[in-house]
């Protein structure tokens, strides 16, 4: 069978965990079939996780917030697996001075947390013009939290395309798409702080 659509499929997750599918079909073949390039089994165990995902951000441990990412093959305090194929990314408040983030706007580090990114790069081209990315998530929305599942440039940020993002302020969640410095956004009310379950599927 010839494919021209690809799926990126993650497993169900808690905290910030995901179930994602990426698939593609070559442009010359229009069969309604998807090639799954990341399946739901990548959170079945650490060998499966580490063969498909890298720990932390593509550029390292810091980004534009007050959390620093900690995770490795020998450090599962903030990135770990639970039974049933669930990935957990856990944030912890720290009470010591760890300096500032190495990324603009260089905020003081207040949290330790976890992140993973796919080893696979999504490349939209004539051979694979269609990709589907899906996820099932259970994410906190309390003040101080900032869970997200997003696509970014393979070697840079921005651009950014958010599948799910909650910047916790006890009242609102947001999803945003950022491209070349523009940031159209939509915000939605959520009834109260706590945990939200969401399903994302951009096309």
SS3 93: strand
Beta strands in 35-147 (DSSP E): 35-38, 53-55, 67-69, 79-82, 86-89, 92-93, 111-113, 116-118, 130-140
The residues that are catalytic are 160, 165
Structure tokens at 181: 């410095």
Which is nearest to 51 in space by CA: 37, 70, 69, 34? 37
Q: Give residue 165's Cα distance to chain centre.
A: 9
Structure tokens at 77: 């305090």
Q: 99: buried, middle or exposed (CB in 10 Å: 19+, 13-18, 0-12)? A: exposed
Alpha carbons 110 and 121: distance in angstroms, whole number: 31
- Which DSSP letter does residue 12 get? P
């Amino acid at each position: 069978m010839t494919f021209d659509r690809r799926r990126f499929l993650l497993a169900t997750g808690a905290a910030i965990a995901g179930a994602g599918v990426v698939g593609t079909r070559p442009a010359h073949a229009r069969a309604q079939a998807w090639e799954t390039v990341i399946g739901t089994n990548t959170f079945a165990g650490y060998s499966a996780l580490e063969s498909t995902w890298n720990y932390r951000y593509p550029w390292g441990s810091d980004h534009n917030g007050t959390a620093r990412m900690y995770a490795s093959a020998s450090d599962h305090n903030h990135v770990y697996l639970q039974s049933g194929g669930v990935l957990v990314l856990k944030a912890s408040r720290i009470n010591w001075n760890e300096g500032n983030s190495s990324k603009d706007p260089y905020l003081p580090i207040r949290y330790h947390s976890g992140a993973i990114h796919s080893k696979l790069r999504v490349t939209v081209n004539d051979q694979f013009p269609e990709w589907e990315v899906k996820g099932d998530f259970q994410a906190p929305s309390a003040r101080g939290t900032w869970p997200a599942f997003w696509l970014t440039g393979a070697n840079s940020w921005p651009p950014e395309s958010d599948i799910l993002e909650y910047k916790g302020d006890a009242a609102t969640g947001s999803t945003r798409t950022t491209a070349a410095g523009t940031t159209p956004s939509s915000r939605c009310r959520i009834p109260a702080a706590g945990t939200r379950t969401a399903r994302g599927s951009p096309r």
